[in-house]
Chains A and B, each alone.
Chain A
């Protein structure tokens, strides 16, 4: 090798020194940074990346989930390490980096819930973390029917109003002459209106589009007991054909419409496969099941989404209402009211509990789903006022009864009530002054022109809202 060649090599090595130095410094610096952050990561436990819950569905349906996303896969979380405030029943499951807190029941409207998950760890690190997550459920949204007062003149429209539990905001979502009943679905409202001859028509009105679809009925006739199941998209009503009773094609026949498919009205079959003549009926909350009482007083359980035959539950003098969770119905026999569990078939007598020592006579009742807690309309014989009956709406649990509502000076009448799907509120339809009440004169479902709906928080008994109108839909 010549001197020149050696000199060239040395010169090249000398020239490359800044590159080698920069390379070495870069590598060392990066190794140090990587080691530092690796240490920080090791000392840091799992973190909550995000949470997800449908604030609207969680008040409308039981079984909804809050999903907490950790930034890494975690060990299975035990239920004892999860707390929910305000306390509600729930279950916990873990999958990968997701903790799912499933609420057994519907949650309260407009309520802030705090969820804490402690001792969250992954499989590799000693550090544990605590996840805190808060969310606020959707406020209650109520629709009700405000009928025009005939005294203000003919041709006035009735209105379906949307409002909340607080404030005075009211939005007219649909107006039409002589609205009889309505049911609210996610995207539309089903409305029945009355013609002058007493026959009904059924329309589907888009909540946002306001488009109106007329649903053909099986001939001219009257609709009654319109009910719907929003989650399943099912609508039902009792239909009676127009004309003399002997010539009617349908007489108090239960009809159903699947709004998720072709909007065709079809009779619900009874045990013999013929159209079911219903004395009473209702959807079981949050399901496609119908509970109905046939003409022979047999109570039937029917899956409205299938063509399976009905399941007979026995004969009773009366079919009452189902609990908001759809697991229990109320039936009556000659001895009184019975809570009928659809889960296991057990039957429990529903006593009418005394109020302030006075005996009560039970009326319409709705079971709230737990420990026979219920809201019931009762009458109390008041001997002090010369044998007058006083009407109350009461909350009964265990052996105690608490008055939720009574009209002022007992001058009014409690016409009916409904429970919010989550069991938080009761809406009471009240005629404040029954003696001076005037009917709106509708041939079907006539109402007093002074009817009001009072909304009461069942837990506290506080009246939270009062509106002019009735036929509330949650």
Chain B
């Protein structure tokens, strides 16, 4: 019932806007101030770009949780924890959604029995080690380029270092938010009364209810920061080996562009920025940005996200500096 009421309110609001606009033509070519228009354009563009992948991620998450038998996934994974995480890093090849879609999928994997650190490994590796990202990165920078190699190897290494580090934590559930940890612990009260389809619909509604607000808020914040911080400020730092890396990390953090298209977004900057900084943008961005932190906050505690951000930031910077030194 609340869903129907929400839908009704939303549709009524949209209809009201059209009615007001239709009844007030005398207002002339009135429009929002430029900065507000920029904010809306930037925020909506992130939402439009991410939404299909979020929905695909939720659908895949439901497939994994409801339709794929437990033994299928667990059986193919090795027992050795290092090999297991290494193999999990390549799951993105079969589940090619971008980073925003991977959040619900990672949540589903935890529910399915993955440890939190294994789920993190998947969450961090899959946006980079997946066929769409591999193809677009290779097309943009060449399959034999330093940037291409740094992105793929870097994504794999970061995901496994993070996975290894958090696997050391003795209480994996304490890494999760209380709400999500409770969801994972408690058996579904309707589990035995529901068909798979009913359960899928309920999961879709529940996951959408958690993920969508985070996506919208994250996109709005990303738009706000882009409007507030001129891109020229970041670009002016492009030719310094160190500052260019920090500038690209900041740009990736703010822009919040999906990993499937970020190569083409950043390609025009390749003539201004050093290759290491481009690699940093492509490694850091799919893991840590405003939108992703907002989405990940639905699952992980703030302290975990801070630790994650610090380690990923340092590893990304190191990858960028190594590329700048060698390339």
Interface positions of A (Cβ within 8 A of B)? 12, 15-16, 18-19, 22-23, 26-27, 30-31, 33-34, 37-38, 40-42, 44, 47, 49, 71-74, 96-98, 122-125
Contacts and interface: CB of A to CB of B under 8 A. Distances in A.
A125 B274 CA distance: 14
Contact of A71 (B272, B275, B318): B275
Contacts of B168: 18-19, 22-23
A38 B242 contact: yes
Query: Interface residues of B: mostly helix, strand, loop or mixed?
Result: helix
B271 A97 contact: yes
Interface in B309-325: 310-311, 314-315, 317-318, 321-322, 324-325
B194 interface: no
30 contacts: A12-B170, A15-B170, A15-B171, A16-B169, A18-B168, A19-B166, A19-B169, A19-B170, A23-B165, A27-B310, A27-B314, A34-B317, A37-B318, A37-B321, A37-B322, A37-B324, A41-B241, A41-B242, A41-B321, A44-B241, A71-B274, A72-B239, A72-B241, A73-B238, A73-B273, A96-B271, A97-B271, A122-B239, A124-B239, A125-B240
Chain A to chain B: the 4 pairs with minimum beta-carbon distance, closest first: A73-B239, A37-B321, A30-B314, A41-B241
B264 interface: no
B325 A124 contact: no
Contact of A122 (B161, B240, B310, B321): B240
A40 B327 CA distance: 13
A16 B170 contact: yes
Contacts of A19: 165-166, 168-170
A71 B327 contact: yes
A127 to B, nearest CB: 11
Contacts of A33: 318
A22 B242 CA distance: 27
Contacts of B311: 23, 26-27, 30
Contacts, number: 89
A123 B239 contact: yes
B307 interface: yes
Interface string B273-310: 11100000000000000000000000000000001001
A364 B292 CA distance: 77
B243 interface: yes
Contacts of A38: 241-242, 321
A97 B170 contact: no
A121 to B, nearest CB: 10
B311 to A, nearest CB: 6
A12 B171 contact: yes
B154 to A, nearest CB: 13
B171 to A, nearest CB: 7
B314 A34 contact: yes
Name the residue among B161, B240, B243, B310 with the largest chain A CB count within 10 angstroms.
B240
Contacts of B240: 72, 122-125
Contacts of A97: 239, 271-272
B321 A74 contact: no
A344 B194 CA distance: 91
Contacts of A15: 170-171
Contacts of A41: 241-242, 321, 324-325
Contacts of B161: 26
B142 to A, nearest CB: 11
B245 to A, nearest CB: 9
B321 A73 contact: no
A437 to B, nearest CB: 59
Nearest to B244: A72
B327 A49 contact: yes
Interface string B215-255: 00000000000000000000000111111100000000000
Contacts of A96: 271-272
Given A12-B171, A27-B310, A30-B315, A73 B241 contact: no
Nearest to B317: A34
Given A15-B170, A30-B314, A49-B275, A71 B243 contact: no
Contacts of B273: 73
Given A26-B165, A38-B242, A124-B240, A72 B274 contact: yes
B327 A47 contact: yes
Contact of B318 (A12, A22, A34, A125): A34
Contacts of A98: 271
Interface string B258-271: 00000000000001
Given A19-B165, A23-B307, 14 more contacts: A12-B170, A23-B165, A23-B311, A27-B314, A34-B318, A37-B318, A41-B325, A44-B241, A73-B273, A74-B239, A97-B239, A97-B272, A98-B271, A124-B241
A78 B139 CA distance: 35
A376 to B, nearest CB: 48
Given A71-B274, A122-B240, A123-B239, A44 B318 contact: no
Contacts of B321: 34, 37-38, 40-41
A41 B317 CA distance: 12
A93 to B, nearest CB: 14
Contacts of A125: 240-241
A44 B322 CA distance: 12
Nearest to A96: B271
B322 A22 contact: no
A37 B315 CA distance: 12
A50 to B, nearest CB: 10
Contacts of B169: 16, 19
